[in-house]
Amino acid sequence: MSSCLFYNTSQNRVPNIWLFWKTTVATPNMIHCSNQQLTVEIDGVLLSIIHVHCIYVSRRQLWYDLQQLSLSNLPWLMLGDFNAYLSYLDKQGGHRPITAVMTDFRDFVGSNHLMEVPCNGFHFSWWNKQVGRLKILGKLDRMFSNILWSSKYPGWNYKVCNWLCSDHSPIVGRCVDIPQPKNIPFKFFNMWCSHSTFRDTGKANWDVPVSGHSIYILTQKLKRLKSALKT
């Protein structure tokens, strides 16, 4: 195996996932690989490259493997061909996406507290190379991250580029420093509830006395609690 190349196992077929890296960056450590994913650790972060099986029931082992990786407590980025849609808007042409498959995909994303990375460029990343009424477009290639990754790389996003020789578009990830907008809406993450200090933090901030009208008291308590949770 070359010092600048990792590839996965794909039974008796040619490997379907290849990872190349420049000699100027640190050498990744292989964590896990299968016929549907290859995961490495580099500089304290996890990177998983995905090629999900097109058969629905064959994805269950992949979901299990990735769920175990989500417990690592490291910044984690996942990217590749997921062969499934999150929404009916992610496909144009052909048969309507199967609801059960979309639900399975959504459940995996939600149960592992993953967030889709902001995307620009083209919406659809796959094209069946047909035209007219036979043309089908789909958003099959994506990037997801956990909250630790988005905190470490707050400007991370990816671009869906134009099609080249493949029926899949290249997707390019990058970290861009984006100024923090003012008055950004507060978002509550359910995963916070499982943190060991969540209850004590909430109680300590909520029990601080506030004087004034009942609506004012509620507003001030919520503001204080929001600040505590964000830190």
Residues 6+ apart with CB under 8 A from 188: 229
DSSP 168: B
| pTM score | 0.73
Number of Cβ within 10 Å of residue 171's Cβ equals 20
State how far the Cα of 99 lies from the Cα of 115, in Å rounded to an integer.
Answer: 21
C-alpha neighbours within 13 Å on the C-beta side of residue 139: 19
pLDDT of residue 9: 78
Residues of the chain below pLDDT 50: 1-2
Contact 81, 152 (CB under 8 A): no
* CA-closest candidate to residue 121, choices 76, 85, 173, 73: 173
Which 3 state secondary structure label does DSSP give 25? coil
State how far the Cα of 76 lies from the Cα of 44, in Å rounded to an integer.
Answer: 9
Q: How many helices (H) and strands (E) does the chain have?
A: 5, 14
pLDDT in tens, 46-74: 999 999 998 988 999 999 999 999 998 89
Which 3 state secondary structure label does DSSP give 138? strand
Domains of the chain, each with CATH number or no CATH = 5-175 (3.60.10.10), 190-230 (no CATH)
Which 3 state secondary structure label does DSSP give 201? helix
User: How far does Cα 107 stand from its chain's mean position?
Assistant: 13
pLDDT of residue 2: 47
In the sheet with 115-116, reading across from the earlier edge strand, the strands are 29-33, 37-42, 45-51, 76-81, 141-145, 115-116
State how far the Cα of 132 lies from the Cα of 134, in Å rounded to an integer.
Answer: 5
pLDDT of residue 170: 94
Number of Cβ within 10 Å of residue 108's Cβ equals 22
State how far the Cα of 65 lies from the Cα of 191, in Å rounded to an integer.
Answer: 20
pLDDT of residue 184: 64
Number of Cβ within 10 Å of residue 202's Cβ equals 15
